[in-house]
Structure 1
């Protein structure tokens, strides 16, 4: 079992960024490949546009001065100040994929929602491209709150966030640090620090971690020498015969018409290999036990990642925290399967927690 788990670590490089020669072709990108934002105006989502919602493209900035691009969804014919929800994720996805589907669906139910591209990829700014950071990726949620709280059509006391997959962990981290966030939902959550430092199912030893640091820091040297950043190649394509089932499930979403998007790192060339280094050294969820606002965590019973939510939930305190396990669902089912995603539950949770009338 330990050997199988180790193979899983190496095979699915989107999350651990371990180099695996012969499985994935890596790519380089210059550190200055994006200077200005160019927002696509046509509808280019992986889901159909709703006629119940007004859609617009907006930008906002985080405290590092990075400009982020977002899709704003507002229910038609709603007046006054609305409860608002900022949405992002999964790790390696863009707002035209999962987060946009969640945001539009919740806007149909009466919320003003914002699905944003994180710093460094999608239509958002930030260089080098295709980087992730425990600090900046968390900061992006609070930056979205900055933007929402200053809108005339948003009730500043009724703002929540929703994070999917890796952005579920960032959402919990943001909620621990930002009391302006009154409610948090995570869906199919990943603890990116844990998976990078320990591997899947905590299979890595201290020696494994040291070897990983050696590889990644050697890559840093090459990246600096070449003035470029090696990318991990995204989701494995084609899929080798002997990979774990969850690798196939990611491929079925990101690499097929079901969820492919031309700007998605997971669908294309992937994320910077050396992004893993910061996560190894910085535990994301250190203070989640201090979250005082409401939290709903959702995960599939059959998801390989289920243990991330279950273990994080045990650390939450208070009587306004809930873990919902969806029978029969795997990790990727909660990306786009409308028969599985519990939107009624999410809707009711936010309306209660944000006191939306």
Structure 2
């Protein structure tokens, strides 16, 4: 009972904090977010660049006393499915910049403040190319040492980061937090609960593609539910996700919905299909109590191409709680500090 009361108080505190952060000039909705650039401290720099012909909206974080004439290791941060750069991706980008890295968090194309139509298209090839694009951009940023670029992928961004790192050897060290294998879940259902309906859902996706050809975009994944309905959702990931994305850390650009036609690509992709191609150092971080942990377990087992790998579990943490609970965030950052410090040969 005591732990439940503490958890409820924590959520209330986070909700009040997020409400105050709605006034953040950069739109950041995480605790401790930068609201102004101050000399001698970590600074944030809103950026825009193109991947292909589509505009990408990004935030670059530079470390305290940043000097563009010096050389810094850099880390790209890929956001969760439905998330945007102003939420957990921004939090970890800022925390890593506090450790001395130049970091970048960018909205995936078709999502957030980035361009692309139809909106909320979620195709693995697009998300992987977005990660390549972040590497392209940060490689040209003043002060970045291109031989010391790492990657952090969070939730769905973690699965796509594993996909990108298989071929992009500019990424010298790979970390994921609460990794979510979008292909496996869209195909099999969460915790493999929808295997019996795979063919039915593929047919629906194909029909949705037909509708798009005729100008009508069909979406799936919306969470238009009440608080009471959310509390009855069968998985902690979805219950906590509702609280995080719609209550405590809501952002107007963040949404769970995606085009149903995206399932044609999602359901035939898997983050672990060629994971043996990753030969870079690999760190998978997950909550010990997360109902998504099975995805990090599988990725770790299949990542046989690297000898430098670790599955690090945060005791007592659930998936969404690693996004904002200070105790869990601090543990994750401390682990990343050790990992990136040694693998990127930090000066």
TM range (shorter): 0.7 to 0.9
Q: TM-score, normalised by structure 2?
A: 0.85
Structure 1 CA distance, aligned partners of 2:235 and 2:279?
A: 37
Match of 1:218 in 2: 207
Higher helix share: 2
Structure 2 CA distance, aligned partners of 1:284 and 1:329?
A: 23
2:327 alignment partner, SS class: coil
Structure 1 CA distance, aligned partners of 2:144 and 2:71?
A: 5
Question: How far does residue 131 in structure 1 lie from its aligned partner after superposition?
Answer: 0.5
- Asked whether the equivalents of residues 236 and 251 of structure 1 are also in contact (C-alpha less than 8 Å), the reply is no
Match of 1:346 in 2: 336
Structure 1 CA distance, aligned partners of 2:223 and 2:311?
A: 28
Question: How far does residue 180 in structure 1 lie from its aligned partner after superposition?
Answer: 0.5
Match of 2:197 in 1: 208
Higher relative contact order (CA 8 A, sep 6+): 1
- Asked whether the equivalents of residues 282 and 310 of structure 2 are also in contact (C-alpha less than 8 Å), the reply is yes
- Out of 46, 49, 55, the residue aligned to residue 33 of structure 2 is 49
Q: TM-score, normalised by structure 1?
A: 0.83
1:177 alignment partner, SS class: coil
Match of 1:26 in 2: none
Structure 2 CA distance, aligned partners of 1:130 and 1:337?
A: 28
- Out of 299, 315, 327, the residue aligned to residue 312 of structure 1 is 299
Larger deviation, residues 119-128 vs 92-101: 119-128
1:304 alignment partner, SS class: coil
Structure 1 CA distance, aligned partners of 2:75 and 2:86?
A: 17
Question: How far does residue 202 in structure 1 lie from its aligned partner after superposition?
Answer: 2.1
- Asked whether the equivalents of residues 139 and 174 of structure 1 are also in contact (C-alpha less than 8 Å), the reply is yes
Q: Label 1:319 to 1:233 Cα distance change in 2 as closer, same or farther (>3 A).
A: closer
Structure 2 CA distance, aligned partners of 1:255 and 1:218?
A: 30
- Out of 34, 50, 67, the residue aligned to residue 61 of structure 1 is 50
Match of 1:324 in 2: 312
1:299 alignment partner, SS class: strand
2:45 alignment partner, SS class: strand
The reply on whether 1:197 has 2:184 as its aligned counterpart is: no
Question: How far does residue 233 in structure 1 lie from its aligned partner after superposition?
Answer: 5.2
Question: How far does residue 147 in structure 1 lie from its aligned partner after superposition?
Answer: 1.0
Residue segments in structure 2 that go unaligned for 5+ positions in a row: 1-23
The reply on whether 1:78 has 2:69 as its aligned counterpart is: no
Residue segments in structure 1 that go unaligned for 5+ positions in a row: 1-40
Match of 1:141 in 2: 131
Q: Label 1:326 to 1:236 Cα distance change in 2 as closer, same or farther (>3 A).
A: farther
Match of 1:252 in 2: 243
CA RMSD in angstroms comes to 1.8
Match of 1:280 in 2: 267
- Out of 95, 105, 113, the residue aligned to residue 103 of structure 2 is 113
Question: How far does residue 282 in structure 1 lie from its aligned partner after superposition?
Answer: 2.5
Larger deviation, residues 271-280 vs 186-195: 271-280
- Asked whether the equivalents of residues 202 and 264 of structure 2 are also in contact (C-alpha less than 8 Å), the reply is yes
Structure 2 CA distance, aligned partners of 1:248 and 1:49?
A: 25
Question: How far does residue 163 in structure 1 lie from its aligned partner after superposition?
Answer: 0.5
2:151 alignment partner, SS class: strand
Question: How far does residue 236 in structure 1 lie from its aligned partner after superposition?
Answer: 4.8
1:68 alignment partner, SS class: strand
For residues 188-215 of structure 1, give each alpha carbon's deviation from its aligned partner in whole angstroms, at most 9, with x where no partner exists: 001111111111222333x511111122
- Asked whether the equivalents of residues 237 and 255 of structure 1 are also in contact (C-alpha less than 8 Å), the reply is no
Q: Which aligned pairs between 1:221-240 and structure 2 lie closer than 5 A? A: 221-225=210-214, 227-232=215-220, 234-239=222-227, 240=229
Q: Label 1:243 to 1:295 Cα distance change in 2 as closer, same or farther (>3 A).
A: same
Structure 1 CA distance, aligned partners of 2:333 and 2:212?
A: 43
Larger deviation, residues 303-312 vs 209-218: 209-218
For residues 207-228 of structure 1, give each alpha carbon's deviation from its aligned partner in whole angstroms, at most 9, with x where no partner exists: 5111111222222233333x13
